[in-house]
Amino acid sequence: MAERKPIESWLTDMDGVLMHEGIPVPGADSFIKRLRESGKPFLVLTNNSMYTPRDLHARLARIGLDVPVRNIWTSALATAQFLADQRPNGTAYAIGEAGLTTALHDIGYVLTDADPDYVVLGETRTYSFEALTKAIRLINNGARFIATNPDETGPSAEGALPATGSVAALITKATGREPYFVGKPNPLMMRAGLNAIGAHSETSAMIGDRMDTDVLAGLEAGMETFLVLTGLTRPEEIDLHPFRPSRVVDSIADLVELV
């Protein structure tokens, strides 16, 4: 097997890698500090489309992680980039929060419920029956169906919450139309992120806490992959998958010296 080239750029998931339930993972601050001092290109990624990069910068700063806005990449940004490439200056009916609507506005999209080019489903804590009904009717009338990410549940202090993937399944059941998911594990999100920072997959690494999204997306994008055990994946679950990460480590702290 050919030896990989040295890692010149880093992509890392946020929840479960840098923070867990709103608390920074020990070593996360040192990792981000080392990245910034090294001058190497890097991105912090999230499949959550609710927040803008500025929102996430502020949330990370509150727990002591100083990540510049330009180094944050969300499924909403990836979705907007995909739509801008596919159908520039189009129209969309969007279900989601400011992270999604701002990203769509920034690429010149008009948000409308009058014969839109796309129905774009993102994350929100307040999915409404009225909005979902409108989305179903628009898709039945010919709108193309896009979803920011396939995550079926999201975390909360009270337990699991239905997320984009679950709501997309409801719409699919009602319309017979499957969405195109832009976020992880679609390698499109990773490749678009690499392009945004001028990096190449053969000299890049992806750090994540989930085999089915982070590691799979990194693998399919051609990157070296690191699985940390501070999030959702347990050690005994790794071999249940038909693919493996390049390396498994206890936490982000174990990777500081590799930057």
Residues labelled as active-site residues: 13, 15
Which strand (E) or helix (H) includes residue 129? helix 129-140
For 20, 45, 87, 131, 140, the CA distances from 194, given in Å and listed in that order, are: 25, 11, 22, 34, 35
CA 38/CA 210 separation, integer angstroms: 27
- Please, are residues 59 and 51 in contact by the beta-carbon 8 Å criterion? yes
CA 87/CA 132 separation, integer angstroms: 23
CA 122/CA 221 separation, integer angstroms: 23
8-state DSSP, 213: I
8-state DSSP, 144: E
CA 69/CA 58 separation, integer angstroms: 9
Residues in CB range of 43: below 8 A, 6 or more apart: 10, 11, 12, 71, 72, 73, 193, 196, 197
Residue type, 61: A
Bridge partners of residue 62, in order along the sequence: none
Structure tokens at 256: 């500081």
CA 179/CA 145 separation, integer angstroms: 5
Residues in CB range of 173: below 8 A, 6 or more apart: none
